[in-house]
Amino acid sequence: MKYKLPILYSQATSKERRLVREQYVEEQHGLCYWCKSPLDSKPTVDITNKKINWELFPPFFLKHPIHLQHDHASDLTEGAVHAYCNAVMWQYHDR
C-alpha cells in the first residue's frame, strides 16, 4: 500500500508510521532527508560531531536507526532520517 504523503503523524498507528517511514526511504532513494547520506550508514561528520544532550530524549531513542521525521507545528511527516539526525534537528533546529 502506498500512502499519499505527507500524513498527519499523530493520527497514524505505529504500523502506519513504519510503513510510511519505509515508503519515504524508498522515495528518498535510501538517503536521509536531513543530511542526504545513505540511511544504511552513519550520518555525515558535520552531524555526528554535534554534541547531543541525550537526557532530552526517551531512553530507547537510538534503538531504531531510522526515524520518521515530522514537523511538530503542522504534525505532517517530512521524511526518513537517521536517528542521530533526528536528535540534531530537534536539539539544534527546533524541528
Give the ranges where the chain is alpha helix by DSSP (H): 14-27, 45-48, 83-93
The predicted-structure confidence for 11-39, as pLDDT tens digits, reads as follows 999 999 999 999 999 999 999 999 999 99
Please count the residues of the chain: 95
- For CA atoms 20, 15, 2, 23, the dihedral sign is positive
The predicted-structure confidence for 54-88, as pLDDT tens digits, reads as follows 999 999 999 999 999 999 899 999 999 999 999 99
* Domains in the chain with CATH codes: 9-93 (3.40.1800)
The label of the residue with cell 519505509 reads: 22
Q: How far from 90 is each of 34, 72, 86, CA to CA, in Å? A: 12, 10, 6
**What is the value of pTM for the model shown?**
0.92
Kind plus residue range of the DSSP H or E element containing 74: none
